[in-house]
Amino acid sequence: MAVNKEELKEIIIKDLFLEDITPAEIEDDAPLFGEGLGLDSLDAVELVVIIQKHYKIEIKDMDEGRVAFNSINSLADFIGEKQAS
Amino acid sequence: MKQNAPVAITGTGCLSASGLSLEENMNSLFSGIRNVDVPTGFSSTHTSKYPVFEIKGNIPGLTDDDRKKYSRTSQLGLAAAREALKNAGLNAENLSGLRVGVCMGTTVGCAMNDEPFYRDFRDRLKPDMFPIKKYLNSNPSSAISCEYSLKGPCQTLVNACASGTDAIGVGTSWIRAGICDIVIAGGTDELSRISYNGFISLMITSERACMPFDKNRKGLNLGEGAAVLILEGEDSLKKRKKDPKAFVLGYGTACDGYHLTAPHPDGKGLRRALKEVFADSGKTPEDIGFINAHGTSTPDNDRTESKILRELLPGIPFLSTKGYTGHTLGAAGAIEAAYTVACLEQGRIPANAGFSETDPELCVTPVTENTEILKKTALSESLAFGGQNSVLILSTEGI
Amino acid sequence: MEAAVNGIGVVGGFGRGTADLLKYLKSGTVPAPSNSEFYPVYAADISYLDTVIPKRALRRIDHFSQLALSGIYLAIEDAGLESIDKPSTGLIICSGYGSAKTTFSFLDSIFDDGDACASPTLFSNSVHNAAAGHISIILGLEGPSSTISQFDMSVPSALLTALQWLEEDRVDHIMFGAVDEYCDVMGYSYQRYYGMNENTKMAPLVPGQQSAVPGEGAVFFLLSKKESAKGYGSVSSVKAGSLFDKGIVFPQDSFYILNADGHKKTDRNYHDIIPHGSLASCYTPLYGSMPVGTAFDMAVGALSFKEKTLFSSPESVGCLNESRVLKEKCINRYENISCVKVSRQDELSIITLSSR
């Protein structure tokens, strides 16, 4: 089942306290960290918790997280794959 | 800043998973013993077991009353203070006529995080007030001050993992300024399920025994413990005809102003803290026999610290003792200061436990075996959350 | 070492900034506490921060740290500083209870979704020095920073360090802040200890009356070695220790501001400790009862120098056995104003401000 990207964006905005932006402002393929959305290392570990909490997927290692957290697209793909397996 | 006077250390006390006295700790360290295991004091639902350095058995020298009245953090602090005072030849009686201050660092010791109480509160079950009362009784500095009926100032520092170092720095100031005759200074922290969960959530906790400065380090292990140094002014030393066992020569502290949980990649605050501690002590890197590094075994901490060791303190033997104690948070700086004093007294330092392979990115190697040290002066470093960096220079020169 | 006061930032139940505090002081009126689920409270409003810091920069910063930031920005504004001398400025924050709300929010994250879902953002905000961390990042500070938590003695204890840093030439300027935050567990504790408070008017120094209303807020002082051009005077001495320590001497010829805060057991200690025949005042009904309350008293003391006025104690304040409680506004001719606090653990602090 494909992951609802709009829902994912809403979760990220709420749980990472990004309430100054709207889901529409997050582009699906824009980087979440650094230049793009401007997230940092503390957001990365919070994102691990968010994925666990909302999608019941455990990310044990940041090396795994780093690839998944590239963009909304990569994150949605990652969640989709994990849910299918 | 200007150079300031040395301050005498006349007593030391320390408890950790490595032992219930400073002597026991040093014996463990030089024998390479590491008491690291899954926690027994609490359980968790994590799928991995993250090991900890836990103090097993009873904390020595406490009465049943102490156990009922105080948090475990304050109990540990109290036990370390008792050992240090005894070591300094002091007791409640001869302290009574003196201006004695207490300055302790902690993290858990100032947090009201009693889980059963708060769970009941959330569930509208009107919990009993005993945990609140215990929390209000258990400020680590006040607990010591109260037990010995001391009249001087009390200060509990909550500068995260640098608290113990800062407490000794502040105590040193109080002696220099003549505010106190004696200061009981150190740090204390218990293992708490709350900080255990917190550090795991930050993904800086290792599933294996920690490996400070090693290429394959994956994170820290939490630990618990306490240590106290007795700092004493000239007048009191003369009156008691007491010889110091060591000196605090200097203290430096500076913040990174960079990130809440990560150190500045170039060690900005640590550089300034080092500059300050050398100015305060009148010493130079050439005088330093060894460095007791913070070395938590997290990728970030050890990277930043190594850069500074490489650039500003090259060639000086160094080690992290976290491989013997785990990261004891607010107690760490004090425990490491006590270890530093004991190492200077013995003229040797233990091997950096957990290290086996140099990280080519760090380009530095800690001591890998017990090593003789001839110089009489050493440096102890702490880096903390909130971008806090604090360092002490300790010495047995002239003793 | 004396430390000149060059700027004051206050936020609390009375509003924000010295102007709001002065409004009440000059009129002799008191703000009304607001209602919370468990107890009345003098709550502080932090909406001001949105006007000085971009929302994005505040996103992960909790209420406690935002109280602190409000205090510091108001102090910088009050001092008229255009820039901060970063290399020679230190930061000291003290708090009785720290970021209480976030401590419990972190527990919520564990209780709600399990140990594996403990929030790292909440955890890092719950660490006591998080406020100092946030401030040093936002202001780009480079000097020393320290956070002190000593319940009712937090302010004098932390001030000792501030004076010492100046004395040792560690820094030339210090941003000194005192912050406390209200949370529901505190309200519940008040309710359990003192019963429901129907009468929300604080009446400190009225014998036998338990009238404390918890407060929250922040006070920041910009302290420096150089003399103040602001007329706030300076912090000239800090004494702290046991109530029973005869070695703690009260200054003579000082005007006293007492942090009697409607806790009947501690309030009765104020009667006998200050020199008999002194003139004293008490302003806690303006901001409520909190461990760092004496820092608010210091702000009033500094304003008394600046305004050359001793402000009347609010009408509800009781009286002292051997000294007079000021109940009308008058010209301030005192060179020293001493802020006195007695704790529930029988500790005592005297912080003396001098007009010089």
At residue B192, the pLDDT reads 97
Distance in angstroms (rounded) separating the CA atoms of residues C46 and C281:
28
> What do you get for the CA distance between the two ends of chain B, in Å?
27
pLDDT beyond 70 at C77: yes
Please name the residues between 283 and 342 in chain C that touch chain B, using a CB distance below 8 Å.
Answer: none
- Average pLDDT on B190-195 reads 97
- Cα C63 versus chain centre, distance: 16
Report residue C208 as tokens.
Answer: 């036998």
Query: Which of C91, C103, C245 comes nearest B112 by C-beta?
Result: C103
Interface of A with B (CB under 8 A): 40-42, 45, 48-49, 58, 60, 62
> Nearest CA to CA, how far is A41 from chain B (Å)?
8
Average pLDDT over residues C76-91: 94
- Give B158-180 pLDDT, tens digit per residue: 999 999 999 999 999 999 999 99
At B378, list the tokens: 């050493």
pLDDT of A66 > 90? The answer is no
Q: How far is CA B29 from CA B295, B349, C218, in A?
A: 16, 9, 46
CA distance B330 to B336: 11
Of the candidates B142, B151, B260, which has its C-beta nearest C134's C-beta? B260
- The percentage of chain B sitting over the pLDDT mark of 70, rounded to a whole number, equals 100
What is the mean pLDDT of the segment spanning B127-142? 96
- Model confidence pLDDT, tens digit, residues C284-320: 999 999 999 999 999 999 999 999 999 999 999 999 9
Average pLDDT over residues C116-137: 97
Query: What average pLDDT does this structure show over B211-227?
Result: 98
Question: Taking 90 as the threshold, does the pLDDT of residue C226 lie above it?
Answer: no
- C321 confidence band (pLDDT: 50, 70, 90): very high
| Residue C133 near residue C61, CB atoms below 8 Å | no
Q: List pLDDT tens digits, range C50-71.
A: 999 999 999 999 999 999 999 9
Give mean pLDDT, residues B371-378.
98
Residue A85 has pLDDT above 90, yes or no: no
Q: Measured between alpha carbons, how far is B70 from B143 in angstroms, rounded to an integer? A: 8
Nearest to B187 by CA among B209, B200, B170: B170
Cβ-Cβ contacts under 8 Å, B48 against chain A: 60
Asked if C348 contacts C260 with a C-beta cutoff of 8 angstroms, the reply is no
Three-class DSSP category at B101: strand
| pLDDT given for residue B347 in this prediction | 98
- E-assigned strand segments in B263-343: 290-293, 318-320
DSSP state at residue B379 = E
- Residue C82 burial class via C-beta count within 10 angstroms: exposed 0-12, middle 13-18, buried 19 and up: exposed
Count contacts between A and C (CB, < 8 Å): 34
Q: Look at the pTM and tell me if it is higher than 0.80.
A: yes
The residue whose two tokens read 């947090």 is B111
For residue C242, pLDDT beyond 90: no
**Contact yes or no for A42 and B259 at CB 8 A:** yes
Beta-bridged to residue A8, according to DSSP, are none
Considering just the CA atoms, what is the radius of gyration of chain B in Å?
A: 20
Q: Is the minimum CB–CB distance between B202 and chain A shorter than 8 Å?
A: yes
Residue pairs between chains A and B whose CB atoms are closer than 8 Å: 17
Cβ-defined contact of B201 to A49 (cutoff 8 Å):
yes
Closest residue by Cα to residue B135 from B226, B62, B227, B69: B69
Task: Dump pLDDT digits (tens) for C10-53.
Answer: 999 999 999 999 999 999 999 999 999 999 999 999 999 999 99
Q: H or E element: which one contains C309? A: strand C309-310
Please name the amino acid found at residue B49: K
Q: Does C124 touch chain A (CB under 8 A)?
A: yes
Q: What is the pLDDT of residue B5?
A: 94
pLDDT 10s digits, C151-191: 999 999 999 999 999 999 999 999 999 999 999 999 999 99
Residue B55 has pLDDT above 80, yes or no: yes
Neighbors of chain A with 3 or more C-beta pairs under 8 Å? B, C
pLDDT at B21 over 70: yes
Q: Which residue has the tokens 């919990």?
A: B127
Mean predicted confidence (pLDDT) in C74-88: 94
* Beta bridge pairs of residue B388: B255, B384
Chains with 3+ CB–CB pairs under 8 A to C are A, B
Q: What percent of chain B has pLDDT over 90?
A: 96
Residue B76's nearest CA partner among B44, B33, B41, B115 is: B41
Closest alpha carbon within chain C to A44? C120
3-state secondary structure A4-35: CHHHHHHHHHHHCCCCCCCHHHCCCCCCCECC
Asked whether the predicted pLDDT for residue A30 surpasses 80, the reply is yes
Query: Residue A52's CB: how many other CB atoms inside 10 A?
Result: 16
Closest CA to B67 of B75, B55, B77, B57: B75
The span from the CA of A55 to the CA of C63, in Å, is 29
The pLDDT value recorded for residue A63 is 85
Q: Indicate the DSSP class of residue C313.
A: P
- Alpha carbon distances (Å) from B65 to B96, B188, B190, C316: 22, 19, 19, 42
Q: Which three-class secondary structure string do you get for C326-340? A: CCCCEECCCCEEEEE
Q: How confident is the model at residue A1 (pLDDT cuts 50, 70, 90)?
A: low
> Mean of the pLDDT values across residues C190-219?
92
pLDDT for the residue numbered C356: 84
Number of residues in chain A:
85
| pLDDT tier at C246, thresholds 50, 70, 90 | confident
Task: Among B112, B155, B272, select the one facing C142 at the smallest CB separation.
Answer: B272
Cα distance between residue B115 and residue C115, in whole Å = 12
Whether the pLDDT of residue C136 is over 80: the answer is yes
Yes or no, beta carbons of C113 and A53 under 8 Å apart: yes
Tens digits of residue pLDDT in B313-329 = 999 999 999 999 999 99
By the 8 A CB rule, do B170 and B155 touch?
yes
